[in-house]
Amino acid sequence: MSYDYSKYLRKGKIPHIWCPGCGYGIIMKSMIRAIDSIGWEKDDVVMTSGIGCASRLPGYVDFNTLHTTHGRSLAFATGVKVANPKLNVIAMGGDGDMTAIGGNHFIHACRRNINITCFVFNNFIYGMTGGQYSPTTPKGSRATTAPFGNSDNQFDIAQLAIGAGATFVARTTTYHAVPMEKLMKQAFEHKGFSIVEIIAGCPTGYGRKNKLASPAGMIEWQKEHSVAIAQWEKMSEEEKAGKFPIGVLHDVEKPEYVEAYDANVGLS
Amino acid sequence: MAKQVKFLQGNEAVCEGALYAGCRFYAGYPITPSTEVAEILAARLPKLGGRFIQMEDELAAMAATLGGSIAGKKSLTATSGPGMSLKMENLGYGYLTEIPCVIVNVMRGGPSTGLPTGPGQSDVMQARWGTHGDHPCIALTPSTVQEQLNETVRAFNLAEKYRMPVILLTDEIIGHMREAVEMPEPGDLTVIDRKRPTCDPKDYLPYKPEADGVAPMADFGSGYRYHITGLNHLPDGFPSNDGKLAQADEIRQQKKVDDHYDEIVVVDEMMCDDAEILIFAFGSTARSAKEAVQMARAEGIKVGLFRPLTIWPFPDKHLLKYKGKVKRVIVPEMNLGQTALEVERVLKGSPEVEGIFQIDSEPINPITILNKIKGGK
């Protein structure tokens, strides 16, 4: 029997704005199933986002939803969480939103280890503005602002998060819809700053310029280029070339920000 | 019983006012000359069950302040010119989404880093027009340390009542000076809390105004699930591309302030009744102006002080009483004539506005104002 999403959707707000073939619907559905499986009350869930295609997601789901300014999803989320730590706060955004204009907030949320779950929708491009290169656009790829191919080096979002102090870091792809749901649930269960980077296809903004226009082809690409972390760790550098690991990449315990603050200042 | 009197620094008095008003969340970033506000609240808030956070930058500080308010806490942030420039992005978000909070701007000079440790009044127009787009604005300009406390309470009240960010536009001189302050007891000053919805959550429309133009605001997590967006939105909070509705909603927001001028605008008019010369001065400059007026009066010159405690909305109605009535109007300010432009707009040449504009990081001396009064045009 297929899963009934209707409890969590704002049905009057559908259809969504995402292009045909966009991977973000897969992420939304996995996220709904993950929230359902952890059993959070809708009233207790706050969802924040920045600006961009990914950031339109909160408008479609029936929680306390906060569509903020470009890059500031985590900064607003931090204010909400510190002011009321009982709320379950999920912050989301795209690769440009979270790691370019919001990069400073991203690394500092990781550093604080505040109990927020962050989803970064990484489609390698600025989709909403029509396909400009982002901090994750592969070197050499075409974008409207990289007509000769992208000269920039890329961020590895998961490694950036680990380096900045996030205590739970996972990566998945829109090919892996079911594992994605499980990783999201693990992220929710983790106490501290958790992040799931989700590789998604943007056939319109990225695919067309890079001979990957077919949505199915982009999902095939995700399947072929991703490697489960257990296998990844056994691979040689040559075997790793052009591929990326998926699964739980980092999972450690550290004091959570608000709990540590409260203990430190004598708030019970 | 006599009131308790404390010898407070201006920035300290802001903190006392904030806590009196019920502020329980502060998000900020260090910047001279406002930093004492953060330092004091970092120590004081936890004792009252509140929390303090030092954010990674001013954009984040403004964002987190709004986030704290959305979660139901009266929220404060404090900064100065360069920080205010950075806050403008999310301040605009606060206006469009109608999130109450208070922003303290302890003014210094500028642009850019300028003269960081000296006073200025350079941000009058920035307070009104610094973020992009049209929006209502309330900014208060205290002149004494007592007013730093009382006007901070009033700033919170206005923010909560009209569901919008309110700016306390003070300056380095008042922020750092020390004066005796009569401490209000609970109940001495009015404290207003925002309207919260009482309807069935399924009927809640977060932007459907009541008769006063203001819609009740639910705390996130209180059972009223709704959507907040910086896109123009309908009464249900969801975005709309309908330009006509967007225009109507922004005019409705502006009217929240315009229609309540009498409740929002406070002006101290000293010796203005028979005045032939009017001095228009606010903030620390009004202190010098007051002394200049007293010295001139001692010499028999009919001069009065018009001192707005509310600079935005601009005190048009109060000032219009003097149009065509006084012979001269003098506007001393620590900028190159920002407020003078507004005074000219209201008086329309009756009479012409004379300025004393100074941006050398020094206060405008009473004697400078007195010389202008006595020197004629």
- Residue B239 to residues A59, B99, B209, B215: CA-CA distances in angstroms? 9, 17, 17, 17
The rounded mean pLDDT for chain B is 97
* Sequence letter at residue B287: R
Q: Which pLDDT score is estimated for A1?
A: 58
Give the torsion sign (CA, A197, A200, A204, A205): positive
Q: What is the pLDDT of residues B243-286, one digit of tens each?
A: 999 999 999 999 999 999 999 999 999 999 999 999 999 999 99
Pair type for strands B353-357 and B310-312:
unpaired
Residue ranges of A 122-141 with Cβ closer than 8 A to chain B = none
- Residue B188 to residues A261, B21, B89, B192: CA-CA distances in angstroms? 33, 11, 36, 13
Top CATH class of B5-182 equals: alpha beta
Q: Where are the domains of chain B?
A: 5-182, 269-375
Q: Which pLDDT score is estimated for A213?
A: 74
Q: Mean pLDDT throughout B165-191?
A: 98
* Sequence letter at residue A202: C
Compute the CA torsion angle B50, B54, B60, B64 (nearest 10 deg): -10
Q: Judge whether residue B366 has pLDDT over 80.
A: yes
Among residues B358, B362, B360, B361, the alpha carbon closest in space to that of B372 is found at B358
Spatial separation of the C-alpha atoms in residues A134 and B303, rounded to whole Å:
62
> DSSP strand E in A108-179: where?
116-122, 168-173
Instruction: Test B51 with A83 for CB contact under 8 angstroms.
Output: yes
Within 10 A of B273 (CB to CB), how many other CB atoms are there? 8
Q: What is the pLDDT of residues A145-164, one digit of tens each?
A: 999 999 999 999 999 999 99
Among residues B162, B163, B85, B161, the alpha carbon closest in space to that of B129 is found at B85
Q: Judge whether residue A7 has pLDDT over 90.
A: yes
Spatial separation of the C-alpha atoms in residues A9 and B314, rounded to whole Å:
45
Q: Does B89 touch chain A (CB under 8 A)?
A: yes
Mutate to test the interface with B, among A66, A74, A81, A257 (most CBs of B within 10 A): A66
Among residues B321, B332, B316, B286, the alpha carbon closest in space to that of B142 is found at B286
Compute the CA torsion angle B318, B323, B329, B335 (nearest 10 deg): 60
- Residue B91 to residues A65, A114, A206, B165, B371: CA-CA distances in angstroms? 19, 24, 33, 7, 40
Cβ-Cβ pairs closer than 8 A, A with B, add up to 138
Q: Judge whether residue B377 has pLDDT over 80.
A: no
Common-topology check for domains B5-182 and B269-375 = yes
Q: Is B133 left (phi over 0), alpha (psi -120 to 50) or beta?
A: left
Fold of B269-375: Rossmann fold (3.40.50)
Q: What is the pLDDT of residues A121-137, one digit of tens each?
A: 999 999 999 999 999 99
Whole-number CA gyration radius for chain B:
21
Q: Does B60 touch chain A (CB under 8 A)?
A: yes
Contact A83, A122 (CB under 8 A): no
What percent of chain B lies above the pLDDT cut of 70? 99
Q: Does A105 touch chain B (CB under 8 A)?
A: yes
Q: Mean pLDDT throughout B292-297?
A: 98
Domains contained in chain A, CATH given:
19-254 (3.40.50.970)
Q: Judge whether residue A268 has pLDDT over 80.
A: no
Instruction: Test B56 with A104 for CB contact under 8 angstroms.
Output: yes
Mutate to test the interface with A, among B103, B220, B231, B240 (most CBs of A within 10 A): B220
What residues pair up with A117 in beta bridges, in sequence order?
Answer: A90, A194
Q: Judge whether residue B376 has pLDDT over 80.
A: no
The ipTM assigned to this model is: 0.97
Spatial separation of the C-alpha atoms in residues A123 and A137, rounded to whole Å:
8
Q: Judge whether residue B100 has pLDDT over 80.
A: yes
Q: What is the pLDDT of residues A213-264, one digit of tens each?
A: 799 999 999 999 999 999 999 999 999 999 999 999 999 999 999 999 999 9
